[in-house]
Structure 1
Amino acid sequence: MAQTYENYIDGEWCASETGETFDTHNPADPNEVVATVQDSSAEDAKDAVEAAAAAQEEWAAEPGATYQALLRGTAKRIDERSQELAETLCREEGKTLTEASGEVGRAIDIFYYYASHAVDYGGDRKPTTTDDQNLYTVREPMGVAGLIVPWNYPIAIPAWKMAPALATGNTVVCKLSKDAPTVFLEVTKCLAETAEEIGAPDGVVNVLTGGGEEVGQPIVEHDEVDAVSFTGSREVGDMIYQQATDNRKRIQTEMGSKNPTVVSENADIKKAVEVVGGGICSVTGQACTATERVIVHESIHDEFVEQLIDYVDSIEIGPGLDDPGMGPQVSERELESTLDYIETAQQEGATLAYGGGQPEGEEYENGYFIEPTIVTDAESDMTIMQEEVFGPFAGIASYSDYEEAVEIANDVEFGLTAGIATQDHTEANQFIGDVDFGIVKINEATSGLDLHVPFGGMNASSSETYREQGEEGMDYFTIIKTIYESY
C-alpha cells in the first residue's frame, strides 16, 4: 500500500485544510501508485508563509555554525538513506537507477557544500579614505524565501535552492511539483529531524504539495515573502516574474531552453557523437540543459548522423529500477507532447532519421516509454528548432562556415547552454564570445553541471537577475549593508 505524506508546516506534519489528496504513479508502470500526497490550497500556503515569517527573526540571529549544523546533519541523514531515496526517485520520476543515485549524491554534496560556506560567508572589509575609520559590508538575509521547484530534478533542484537560503539565515517555503514530490518529502524528514536535534525554531523549513495556481501563486503574492526562486516553464516563469516584481520582491527564474551543439569540421567525430548522444538521451532528455539542436558542418554531416544513429540505437530502454540506458518520460502529458513535436517536425519538412515513436514490446505497453529520436534536414525556423521539446529528441541542421553555425546557434529566444565539438582551440575561444548563452561547453555534453560554479541562462531562459549554485547562490538570498565606523 502506498504511503501517505502530509505537508510540513511550522515544525509539524499536517494534512491540507482541503482534506483532499492525490496519488503519484510510476511512469514505467502507471498502474503502480507510488505515494499519496496533499492537494493543498491557498490557505495552506498562507499558513506556511506565516510560519516562516514568525521564525525568521530568531533564525536570522543564529550564528553560521547553527546553519552549518542544520545542513551538515541533513546531508548525513540523506547519505544514510541514499539507496532508498534513489529507488524512490526512480519509481516516481522515471530516471535510471544510475541517474537517480547521481542526483541523490548531488543533493548530499549541495547540503555539505553550503554547510561549509555557512560559517565564513558574510561581508568584506574595504579600504578607507581616512585613517580613523572602518569601512566594511555585511550581508543580511532577505527574510522569507518562496521556492517553486519542478519535477525533473526533484531532489537536486530543491536542494540547491533551499540550502543557500538556509545557510544565509532565511526561512523557506517550498512548493513541490505534483509529478514527483515524494523524494523531497523524504528529504524534508531529514531536515525536520535535524532541526529538532539542533533546536532550530519551528517554521524555518516549510514544504507543501499542490498546484501552481492553488499554492504557488499565493506564495509568490504573499506580503511576507521577500524573495522568490522559480524553476520551470517559460510561460509560468514569466507570470511569476511579473507577479513578484509588481510586489517589489526579489526574483530569480530559470526557465526553458533550446540548447545547440555545433559539430565543427575539426571535431573528433567519435567524441562528438558521444557528447551529442549523451546530451540528447541522458535523463530521457528531460533536462533544461539537454541537447536539442545539433549544427553539423556539411563536410562531415552524413558520417556524423550515421554514427549518432548507431549510438542512440545502442541505448537500452526500460524501467528506471532495472537501470537501463534510458528510462520513461515522467507522465503521459510529457510523452504526448514529445510525440506531437515529432509529428510537427515531419509535417514541416524535417526527415525522421531514427526513432519517432514508442518502443515495441510487451514490457513497454503500459509505461511512458519513447525512442530516442533524431530528425535531419531541420531548418532554423522550424517549430522543433525554436520550441523546447522535453524529451530525447534532436533536430540536425548543416552549415557551411563558422559564421553560419553561430547564426543558427543564436537564432532562438532562449540562451541557457551551448556547446561546440572542435579540436581547434582558436575556434573554441571564438565560439565562447560569439554565442549568447549563459553556459558554454567545449567538447562536453550540454547537460551536466558542477555545483560550485554559477548556473543560469540568458535571454528568455532566465530573469537574468541572479545566478544559482556556487557562492552566487548565496548572494541571491542576502542583501548588502555598508557600515561606516569612525573612531
Structure 2
Amino acid sequence: MSQAVEAAPVAHPLADEVAALLESFGAELPRQAEGSCIVRSPLTGELIVRVQETSPDEARAAIGRAHDAFLAWRQVPAPRRGELVRLLGEELRANKAALGRLVTIEVGKIVSEGLGEVQEMIDICDFAVGLSRQLYGLTMGSERADHSLMEQWHPAGIVGVISAFNFPVAVWSWNAALAFVCGDSVVWKPSEKTPLTAIAVQALAERVIARFPEAPEGLSTLILGGRDVGEVLVDDQRVPVVSATGSTAMGRVVGQRVAARFARAILELGGNNASIVCPSADLDLALCAIAFAAMGTAGQRCTTLRRLFVHDSVYDALVPRLKQVYASVSVGNPLEGDALVGPLIDEAAYTGMERALAEAREVGGIVHGGGRHTHGVAPGGFYVRPALVEMPAQVGPMLHETFAPILYVMRVRSFDEALDLQNGVPQGLSSSIFSNDMRETSRFLSATGSDCGIANVNMGSSGAEIGGAFGGEKETGGGRESGSDAWKAYMRRQTTAINYGRAMPLAQGVKFEIADEGSAKA
C-alpha cells in the first residue's frame, strides 16, 4: 500500500532531495495530500514534507488484507518464502546508498551509521534466507509402545511491527525478514517522527512482491500515524504477534493490551546500559569503545552506554582522557562534514537532556560538556555537546534512561561493587566489561554476573550483530528479535503424537479398559 506524500510548501534544500529519493524508490508523489503528519529533518529543524496519515478504519482494512495474505502465504513452501526475502536483500543492496542517505536526513545519523543500518537489513535478509531451510522441530522418544512424539512449527499469522525513530528501518527488517520466511504477513506502524524511510522501504518491498508470483497482495502493509493507529494494531484479534520497540511506558500499555487478548508481545524497551572498567583493562581499547557506545547516534540508541563504573586504580588514568575526547568530538550536520555526532531528533529530546543534567547537578554531579551546540549548524536543529557527568552515587537521573548523549561516571573500589551498581537499575538491556582478568570476565558472564540480555567483554554496550538474538530483561521487556532462535516467536508450536500400532496404551500407565471385546484395549 503506497503512501501519499507532498513536498513542503516552502523552499528548502532537503525537500527536493527527499522527493527525488522517494520517487527513486517508487513511492507515490501526488501534488496534494491531506493529513496532519508533518516531517521535519533534525538536521535543520525545518518542514520538508507532509505525509498522509492512515485513519483507524483504513488501518483495520489494511489488517484485513494482511490476514487474507497470511492465509495464502502460509501455504507457500518455506524455502520459496526465503527466495522472496533473498530478492528483498538484493533490492536493498541496490538501494543502500540512497536509503542510507534518507536515514541520515530523517533521523540525523552520521552517514556511516545510516549506511550501517541498511547493511543490517541486508544481513538479516541473508540470515533469513538460510533460516528458510532450517525451521526445525524436534523428535522425542515416546513412553508408549508403537508411538512417536514430535514438535513442529507453523506460521503464526499477522505480525504487527511498531518501530521507534532511532532505528527507523532496521527494526522492521529484523521482524519482517523472519516473519516472511516463517509464513507470516506483516503490518508495520513506524514512528510518526520517521515515516519517510518507512515509505521508502515499503515501496522497495512492494517492488519485490509485485514480481514474485506466490506473494499475495497485503503481505507487507504500512500504516502511518500516532497512538490511535497503533491501538488498532495492538487490539485487533487478527494480529497474534505484536513486536513493539520504544519506551518502557509504551511497553507497559502495549504488553497489557496484547496480553488481555492472549496474543504474544515481543517488547524491546528502555535500556540504561552500563560498562565496568577493571584494573587490568586495556585503557586505549576502552577509551575508543566507550566513546562510540556513549556518543554514537547522539546517544539515541537503546544500547547507548549511559553508566560507567571505573575502578579506583585506573580512574585517574582513564577519565581525564575521556573528558578530552568529549571536549574535542566533532558535532555537526553529517551531510556537510565529518562530524561524529549529529543532532537530537527534536526539541523534546533536547529538553529531556537539559532536565536530566539539572537533576544530576542537584544530587552533586559534576557536569562536563552538555548544552546547545550552535557553531556551524542550522539554528533549527537541536545539536548538543555530549555530556560526561561525574556522580557521587547512583541516584537521580542515573536510575532512568534519558535518550541523549549523557554518560554518568562513578568511581568504584571493587568488582562486586561495580556489578551490584550495574544490576541495580530497573532496566536490563545491554552491559559490558573491560578486563583481562579471566575470573572477572567469567563471573560477569555467569548466572551471578550481568543480569542483562546482552553482555559484552572488552567492547562497548552497543553495536549488536544480527546473528545473536537481540533484547533484554526486566523493564526492557524480555523480547528477542533478529538472530539465533528468535524465529520461534513468529510461529506457533504444535506437539504431535502418532500411534502407529494396533493397541491404545495411555501415558503415565493410566488404565481405561472398556467392555467391548471388538475394540482396542486401553
What TM-score results when the alignment is normalised by the length of structure 2? 0.87
1:312 positional shift: 2.3
Paired AA for residue 358 in structure 2: E
Is contact 2:159-2:240 (8 Å) kept?
yes
CA–CA distance in structure 2, aligned partners of residues 362 and 130 of structure 1: 77
1:351 corresponds in structure 2 to: 366
The SS at the match of 2:69 is helix
* 1:185 equivalent among 176, 185, 199: 199
1:9 corresponds in structure 2 to: none
* 1:289 equivalent among 279, 288, 303: 303
CA offsets per residue over residues 427-467 of structure 1, 9 Å max, x none?
A: 111122222111111110100101011111111111x2x42
The SS at the match of 1:57 is helix
CA offsets per residue over residues 270-295 of structure 1, 9 Å max, x none?
A: 22221211110111110111110011
CA–CA distance in structure 1, aligned partners of residues 404 and 188 of structure 2: 26
Matched, 1:205 2:220: yes
The SS at the match of 1:436 is coil
1:271 corresponds in structure 2 to: 285
1:424 positional shift: 0.8
1:138 positional shift: 1.5
CA–CA distance in structure 1, aligned partners of residues 383 and 223 of structure 2: 29
Once the two structures are superposed, the pairs formed by residues 324-339 of structure 1 within 5 Å of their partners are 324-339=339-354
Paired AA for residue 427 in structure 1: E
Matched, 1:74 2:88: yes
CA–CA distance in structure 2, aligned partners of residues 41 and 229 of structure 1: 21
Is contact 1:438-1:458 (8 Å) kept?
yes
1:387 positional shift: 1.0
* 2:415 equivalent among 402, 405, 413: 402
* 2:154 equivalent among 126, 137, 140: 140
Matched, 1:413 2:423: no
Change over 3 Å in CA distance of 1:147–1:13 after alignment to 2: farther
2:128 corresponds in structure 1 to: 114
1:19 positional shift: 3.9
CA–CA distance in structure 2, aligned partners of residues 206 and 440 of structure 1: 35
CA–CA distance in structure 2, aligned partners of residues 25 and 131 of structure 1: 68
* 1:430 equivalent among 443, 446, 454: 443
CA–CA distance in structure 2, aligned partners of residues 281 and 203 of structure 1: 39
1:254 positional shift: 1.0
1:137 positional shift: 2.0
* 1:469 equivalent among 482, 498, 522: 482
CA offsets per residue over residues 9-46 of structure 1, 9 Å max, x none?
A: xxx9799xx9414221211111251x332222211221
1:253 corresponds in structure 2 to: 267
CA–CA distance in structure 1, aligned partners of residues 200 and 391 of structure 2: 46
* 1:447 equivalent among 451, 458, 462: 462
Paired AA for residue 373 in structure 1: A
The SS at the match of 1:23 is strand
Matched, 1:161 2:193: no
CA–CA distance in structure 1, aligned partners of residues 365 and 116 of structure 2: 35
Stretch of structure 1 that moved more, 157-166 or 117-126: 117-126
* 2:324 equivalent among 310, 316, 324: 310
Paired AA for residue 443 in structure 1: N
Matched, 1:458 2:473: yes
1:27 corresponds in structure 2 to: 42
Change over 3 Å in CA distance of 1:116–1:14 after alignment to 2: farther
1:364 positional shift: 4.9
1:207 positional shift: 0.8
Paired AA for residue 329 in structure 1: L
Aligned pairs, how many? 474
CA–CA distance in structure 1, aligned partners of residues 37 and 406 of structure 2: 31
CA–CA distance in structure 2, aligned partners of residues 405 and 42 of structure 1: 48
* 1:221 equivalent among 232, 235, 252: 235
Paired AA for residue 44 in structure 1: E
1:131 positional shift: 6.8
Is contact 1:69-1:198 (8 Å) kept?
no
Once the two structures are superposed, the pairs formed by residues 381-396 of structure 1 within 5 Å of their partners are 381-382=395-396, 384-396=397-409
Structure 2 portions without partners, runs of 5+: 1-6, 8-14, 21-26, 501-522
Stretch of structure 1 that moved more, 127-136 or 320-329: 127-136
Is contact 1:70-1:191 (8 Å) kept?
no
- Superposition RMSD in Å: 2.1
Change over 3 Å in CA distance of 1:133–1:422 after alignment to 2: same
The SS at the match of 2:469 is coil
1:8 corresponds in structure 2 to: none
CA–CA distance in structure 1, aligned partners of residues 279 and 319 of structure 2: 14
Paired AA for residue 293 in structure 2: G
1:170 positional shift: 0.8
CA offsets per residue over residues 49-94 of structure 1, 9 Å max, x none?
A: 1111122111111111331122111111111011111111110100
1:369 corresponds in structure 2 to: 383
Paired AA for residue 139 in structure 2: R
Structure 1 portions without partners, runs of 5+: 6-11
Paired AA for residue 406 in structure 2: F
